[in-house]
């Protein structure tokens, strides 16, 4: 296959050939020992100028100023940038100038090199590495998209969101500040994991490929296993497997899981996403509300040192306790209408009145959920618990202990979006079978997100599952809030994108 190269790419490939002809391996396999990072040097050297007198450093060239026998380069490693200074005679140590003129001076922005020397402060007061030796570690064959440079700083270099998501590796090089988002995401996960470990719960793994999808109302991705000659589904949730483990005798289990839903994509939805699901025996949904508050508050403190976080134009405070509304209370609060005594026809009429599109597949529970989504959800900026959901939209949830037609379920909503979903889990196998059968009827009415009936899960319940509270937290959504990201794609290294020309 013929690859069309730009003029700059052709020049770089010619340099590659020249380096090889000179006996310089542009992609050496040898270990290159690094004994200091840019961050360590810049933080510590000004305090003690005796440090880093035999430094070995590696990084990517981000800018260069060649002035005859003297050159200044800026190298970037994983922790930041640092200037290096070279003199031709010192690098070559009296030998012929081939390596300097034919190799060093022909290095390009984007090349990765290793340098050895000592750290000093220039007359301009900039901490720099005085290079005595250099090694080409990787030749870059494509130019970096450096658009502008001012006062030694790059800006406006690679800002098109679609290209940044498609070429995250390039985004990380040219916009290294975005690394902090992903560092904070990892801190978020580690904080949650440590919190749950300290509670004594067991982190487990459950199947991603499942013979039946379940645990959520969603459309699955379907595949086929050739050896078994059977269809399999990428999991939409891991709930039913984790509850099997509660049946098996564990008091508390959790999993950070990759889940997959074959649905629409927007700035809040990616077909592949991460959830943390937790199930604890002998607890109920009120206990889980307290647990969520405690855990998310700890996350905010770990990432920011405060419970108050600026998100868009709002200052969101995760300090406990959070506001709590029943779903009916929230709808009445934001619409001025009490819908709790309405029948399905009245509810459909009210839904249309406030702008909800109604179709024949929507039962009473679905209508309530749509009314809440239309009239309330976007107005909930501060973290708020919405609880007591209709039974029709909560097929895995225990019936409410005192309110007919409702279940013991809650969601936490923040910045206008759901960040978690939790229940007092349904552990009555007869009731659970009935709920599954009702879901099948919804499917016949055309609901593409209705659940399937899982006989093995029902069998597990028939052996007895203790009273249990379960929780699912969307890690991507929570990361968006904690890092003030406007799109889910900003907190995913490699979001799903429509294919395009790879060149």
Name residues of the chain where pLDDT drops below 50: 93-94
Peptide bond just before 321 cis, omega within 30 deg = yes
Q: What CATH class does 180-322+382-491 carry?
A: alpha beta
d(CA 345, CA 294): 41
Q: Which residue has the tokens 């379960």?
A: 470
Q: What CATH class does 7-155 carry?
A: mainly beta
Angle, CA 279 vertex, CA 276 and CA 281 arms, to 5°: 165
Torsion, Cα 96 99 102 103, to 10 degrees, reads: -170
pLDDT digits (tens, 9 = 90+) for 450-465: 788 899 999 999 999 9
- Contact, 236 vs 258, CB < 8 A? no
Domain with CATH 2.40.50.140 in the chain: 7-155
d(CA 123, CA 315): 44
Domain with CATH 3.30.930.10 in the chain: 180-322+382-491
Residue 491: name the closest of 221, 272, 206, 315 by CA: 272
The DSSP line for 436-490 is HHHHHHHHHTT-TTPPPP-HHHHHHHHT----EEEEEEEHHHHHHHHHT-SSGGG
Residue 97: predicted pLDDT:
59
d(CA 497, CA 170): 16
Distances (CA, A) of 258 to 83, 278, 450, 469: 41, 14, 21, 21
Helix 344-353 × helix 364-375 angle, to 10°: 20
pLDDT digits (tens, 9 = 90+) for 337-365: 999 999 999 999 999 999 999 988 788 88
Reading the block at residue 42, the tokens are: 């810049």
HSE at residue 51, side-chain half, CA atoms within 13 A, is 14
């Amino acid at each position: 296959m013929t690859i069309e190269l730009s003029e700059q790419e052709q020049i770089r490939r010619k340099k590659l050939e020249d380096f090889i002809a000179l006996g310089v391996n542009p992609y050496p396999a040898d270990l290159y020992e690094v004994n200091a990072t840019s961050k360590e040097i810049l933080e510590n050297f000004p305090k003690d100028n005796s440090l880093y007198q035999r430094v070995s450093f590696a990084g990517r060239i981000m800018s260069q100023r060649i002035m005859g026998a003297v050159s200044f380069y800026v190298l970037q490693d994983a922790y930041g940038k640092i200037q290096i200074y070279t003199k031709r005679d010192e690098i070559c140590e009296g030998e012929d100038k081939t390596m300097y003129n034919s190799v060093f001076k022909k290095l390009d922005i984007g090349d990765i090199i290793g340098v050895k020397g000592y750290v000093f402060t220039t007359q301009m007061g900039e901490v720099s590495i005085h290079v005595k030796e250099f090694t080409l570690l990787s030749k870059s064959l494509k130019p970096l998209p450096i658009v502008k440079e001012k006062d030694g700083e790059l800006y406006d270099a690679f800002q098109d969101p679609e290209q940044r998501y498609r070429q995250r590796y390039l985004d990380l090089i040219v916009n290294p500040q975005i690394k902090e988002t992903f560092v904070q995401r990892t801190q978020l996960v580690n904080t949650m994991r440590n919190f749950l470990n300290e509670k004594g719960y067991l982190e487990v793994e459950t199947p991603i490929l499942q013979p039946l999808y379940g645990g959520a109302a969603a459309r699955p991705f379907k595949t086929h296993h050739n050896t078994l000659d059977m269809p399999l589904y990428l999991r939409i949730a891991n709930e039913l497997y984790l509850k099997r483990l509660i049946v098996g005798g564990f008091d508390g289990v959790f999993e950070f899981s990759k889940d997959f839903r074959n649905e629409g994509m927007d700035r809040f939805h990616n077909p592949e996403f991460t959830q943390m699901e937790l199930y604890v025996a002998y607890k109920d949904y009120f206990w889980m509300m307290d647990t969520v508050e405690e855990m998310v508050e700890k996350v905010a403190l770990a990432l920011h040192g405060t419970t108050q976080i600026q998100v868009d134009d709002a200052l969101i405070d995760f300090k406990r306790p959070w506001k709590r509304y029943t779903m009916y209370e929230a709808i009445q609060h934001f619409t001025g209408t009490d819908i709790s005594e309405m029948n399905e026809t009245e509810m459909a009429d009210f839904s249309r009145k406030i702008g909800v599109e109604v179709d024949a597949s929507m039962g009473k529970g679905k209508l309530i959920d749509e009314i809440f989504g239309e009239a309330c959800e976007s107005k909930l900026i501060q973290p708020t618990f919405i609880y007591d959901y209709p039974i029709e939209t909560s097929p895995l949830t225990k019936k409410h202990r005192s309110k007919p037609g409702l279940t013991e379920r809650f969601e936490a909503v923040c910045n206008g979006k759901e960040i978690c979903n939790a229940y007092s889990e349904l552990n009555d196998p007869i009731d659970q079978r009935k709920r599954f059968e009702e879901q099948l009827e919804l499917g016949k009415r055309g609901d593409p997100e209705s659940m399937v009936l899982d006989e093995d899960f029902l069998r597990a319940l028939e052996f007895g599952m203790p009273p249990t509270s379960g929780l699912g937290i969307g890690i991507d959504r929570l990361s968006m809030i904690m890092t003030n990201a406007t799109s889910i794609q900003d907190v995913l290294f490699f979001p799903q994108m429509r294919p395009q020309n790879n060149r």
